[in-house]
Amino acid sequence: MSEITKEPIEVPGATVPFFTYKEGETQVYEFDTSKCGPPEPMVNAMAGLKLIDDPGKKLVMINHKKPMGLLNKIGENYNIEEEDLPDGRVKLIFGYKPGATESANLSDSHCDG
């Protein structure tokens, strides 16, 4: 199995580094806000979710806890996988949900929780 090469990518509005790589045919975008406080996880998630505009793309968010404010806001607009990491952080994988992703309000990055 070949090693994944993560390339830095500019994401408008982001306050943390974003990286991109391929997993098979899927284009993956990844960022880590596990050392950030509110509202940075929400702000960066909203910026990154704008990249998920077709089924061949996913967004990976690493955070210190499950971002409930974010999930309450856009949870029904994406397919979301959750994974608890060994160090206690949480990894969320957002995927395109046909018919729902397009209606996500990604301009509101205000955090309510």
Average confidence (pLDDT) over 95-111: 87
The string of pLDDT tens digits covering residues 6-29 is 999 999 999 999 999 999 999 999
The string of pLDDT tens digits covering residues 30-77 is 999 999 999 999 999 999 999 999 999 999 999 999 999 999 999 999
**Whether 38 contacts 16, CB under 8 Å:** no
**Whether 57 contacts 49, CB under 8 Å:** no
Go through the domains of the chain in sequence order and give each one's CATH number: 7-102 (3.30.110.40)
Of the candidates 101, 1, 103, 88, the residue with the CA atom closest to the CA atom of residue 57: 101
C-alpha distances out from residue 80 to 12, 13, 62, 65, 92, Å: 23, 22, 13, 15, 7
